[in-house]
Amino acid sequence: MKKFSVAGIIGIVAGAVVVLAIIGFIAVVVLRVDAAEAQSIALTQTGGGEIVSQEISNEGLWNEYSYTIVNGNNWYDIEISGFGQVTELEQSAGPVR
């Protein structure tokens, strides 16, 4: 059996950490959604309607999207994560907000 030096083991561990970091970065870039996808998700979750306000917050490597949507007499506040998950959905009714 071959013996590894301490420097060799440290090199192997450092290489593994770099490879994992690269894989993580690629996963974030591939899995994140853009503003058009986030709008589509928001409108689907609220059953359609009109986006009356939107906000995009930068959270590191991805964005978080917030929308206010009116659909008939219903108002929705919805937040979409950078990966397309609905993180918050609030509904209120009434013609005036």
Q: What is the pLDDT of residues 2-34, one digit of tens each?
A: 677 888 888 888 999 999 988 887 776 677 898
Q: Which two tokens stand for residue 8?
A: 């060799």
Tell me the mean pLDDT in the region 55-67. Answer: 87
| Mean pLDDT, rounded, of the chain | 87
User: In terms of Cα–Cα distance, which of 89, 92, 63 is closest to 78?
Assistant: 89
Please tell me the predicted confidence (pLDDT) of residue 37.
93
Please tell me the predicted confidence (pLDDT) of residue 79.
96
User: In terms of Cα–Cα distance, which of 45, 42, 70 is closest to 56?
Assistant: 42
CA distance 1 to 4: 10
Kindly report which listed range (20-24, 52-56, 59-63) carries the lowest average pLDDT score.
59-63
